[in-house]
Amino acid sequence: MKTITQMGFSILVGILSLISLATSGQERQKIAVISMETKNVPYDNEALTSLVHLELEKIGQYEVLDRFDVSDILKENNIDLTACLGKNCQVRVGKLLKADKMVSGSIEKFGQKVIIVLRLIDIETETFEKSDVAEYINQLEEIQLMVQLSLNNLMGLASDQKTKELLISYSQPISSPKTTANLNGPRMGVSYISGAIGKRLSAPKSEGGYNMYPAMMMFGYQQEVQYLTAGYFQALVEMIFAVNGLESGMFAPSLMIMNGLRFNQIGLEFGVGPIIRASKMASGYYDNEGKWVMASFVPAELSYLKLEETIDSRGNLKLTTGMIIAVGKTFTSGYLNVPVNVFFSPRKEGNVYGLSFGFNVAKTNRPITK
């Protein structure tokens, strides 16, 4: 019986020893953070150091040394914590604090980004064990979430994916004269008008025509507004004011407003939108011989005829609307741009087909913003 009791006691001691060993093996390592470098952020060194200290404690992976005890030890050894940013100083302080690890780094606003750099220093080996560099959007009111994400990365812990997507600053396409184009500038071209409208232009002036070929020159100016730029792709609104038919003594102003898509890498663009024209118009009808008769010349016995409105040099100036579709390519030589476009305007009385070209020199006179 005594032997059994002694054996039981020995087993119990062994179990307690194993538990003690296991517990001692699970003892957390000590870690300290003494100073974070700050630049261009509305928080001082002490505030952000305290924030990193707080988030380290919340993780619970290490035993975080009390910052007041750390401050006292540093004062006793005449160490300026705001100047102790390098690895050698951090290792020396870590040994004084009897810490296993040290965290150092910086938080800086650069342009439209907030950059957080964190380093984990192993005191025994005196080396950087891990480091993490993260770029966040310029939303400093969420600095605590940014520190959480960076510390999780440093410690190899998972972070909330939605929070990362909202705060991480992803690389944006570079905007330069090679990836964007502004084609404001003069435009010249020629258009051909088919169908009944073309015949009216060719008709003699005595019949209300213009005695010209069913084609006319155009001179104008393009002004564009870009509302989306992504790498080599642009979305824009193009406005072209033009005057047509001057070579034939005709003054026909027009305004084209197109929503355009431009692919700068290959120089192609596509646009579609309304066109507003100012032309002399009159009411009348076509007789059995296809001759246009103005309404004021319609005999009384034919007053029942259904009249229609078309171009007539004897009529009144009116605004008409239509649709225009254009496709173009821009040829470049250095910063010189030469856009060439073909366009099409469908009309019931006759379609308009045209070709235009222009030129401008790309300028980069906008100041660089910080």
Query: How do residues 74-118 score in pLDDT, each as one tens digit?
Result: 888 888 877 888 889 999 998 999 999 999 999 999 888 999 999
Q: Tell whether 223 and 322 lie within a shared domain.
A: yes
pLDDT of amino acid 179: 56
What does the pLDDT average to over 315-338? Answer: 89
Q: What is the mean pLDDT of the chain?
A: 83
Closest by CA position to 49, among listed 90, 13, 77, 20: 90
Query: How do residues 281-298 score in pLDDT, each as one tens digit?
Result: 888 777 777 777 777 766
In the Cβ-directed half-sphere of 369, how many Cα atoms lie within 13 Å? 2
Q: Quote the number of domains for the chain.
A: 2
Mode of pairing for the β-strands spanning 316-333 and 215-230: unpaired
pLDDT of amino acid 369: 39
Say which CATH number the domain at 40 has: 3.40.50.10610
Confidence of residue 302 (pLDDT cuts 50, 70, 90): low
Confidence of residue 125 (pLDDT cuts 50, 70, 90): very high
Query: Token digits for 234?
Result: 């642009």
Q: Tell whether 222 and 135 lie within a shared domain.
A: no
The residue type found at 68 is F
Q: Tell whether 100 and 225 lie within a shared domain.
A: no
Query: How do residues 35-76 score in pLDDT, each as one tens digit?
Result: 889 999 998 888 999 999 999 999 989 999 988 888 888 888
pLDDT of amino acid 285: 78
Contacts of 140 (CB under 8 A, 6+ apart): 41, 42, 43, 109, 114
pLDDT at 30 over 90: yes
Number of neighbours of residue 317 by Cβ within 10 angstroms: 11
pLDDT of amino acid 349: 84
pLDDT of amino acid 75: 87
pLDDT of amino acid 341: 95
Burial class (CB in 10 A: 0-12, 13-18, 19+), 163: middle
pLDDT of amino acid 171: 59
Query: How do residues 160-218 score in pLDDT, each as one tens digit?
Result: 888 888 888 765 555 555 556 678 999 999 999 998 888 888 888 888 888 888 899 99
Q: Tell whether 156 and 296 lie within a shared domain.
A: no
Q: Tell whether 340 and 249 lie within a shared domain.
A: yes
| Residue-range definition of the domain harbouring residue 46 | 28-167
| C-alpha to C-alpha distance for 323 and 342, rounded to whole angstroms | 14
| C-alpha to C-alpha distance for 261 and 212, rounded to whole angstroms | 36
pLDDT at 6 over 60: no
Q: Tell whether 338 and 298 lie within a shared domain.
A: yes
Q: Identify the DSSP state of 347.
A: -
Q: Tell whether 116 and 253 lie within a shared domain.
A: no
Q: Residues of the chain with pLDDT > 70: what percent?
A: 84
Contacts of 283 (CB under 8 A, 6+ apart): 294, 295, 307, 308, 309
Within-domain flag for 366:
no
φ, ψ of residue 267 in degrees (nearest 5): 75, 15
What does the pLDDT average to over 344-352? Answer: 90
The model's pTM is: 0.52
Query: Token digits for 188?
Result: 């010249």
pLDDT of amino acid 266: 85
Query: How do residues 221-250 score in pLDDT, each as one tens digit?
Result: 999 998 887 767 889 999 999 999 888 888
Domain boundary among 133, 167, 201: 167
Say which CATH number the domain at 207 has: 2.40.160
pLDDT at 368 over 50: no
| C-alpha to C-alpha distance for 88 and 84, rounded to whole angstroms | 9
pLDDT of amino acid 273: 96
Closest by CA position to 149, among listed 58, 75, 234: 58
Within-domain flag for 303:
yes
Within-domain flag for 16:
no
Query: Token digits for 352?
Result: 């308009």
Domain boundary among 167, 194, 229: 167
Query: How do residues 246-263 score in pLDDT, each as one tens digit?
Result: 888 888 899 999 999 998
Q: Tell whether 155 and 281 lie within a shared domain.
A: no
Q: Residues of the chain with pLDDT > 90: what percent?
A: 41
**Picking from 181-195, 225-239, 326-340, 356-370, which range would have the lowest pLDDT averaged per residue?**
356-370
**Which stretches within the chain are classed as H helix?**
2-25, 45-59, 67-76, 87-97, 143-155, 161-167, 195-202
Q: Tell whether 85 and 140 lie within a shared domain.
A: yes
Q: Tell whether 203 and 113 lie within a shared domain.
A: no
Q: How far does CA 365 lie from the centroid of its chain?
A: 20
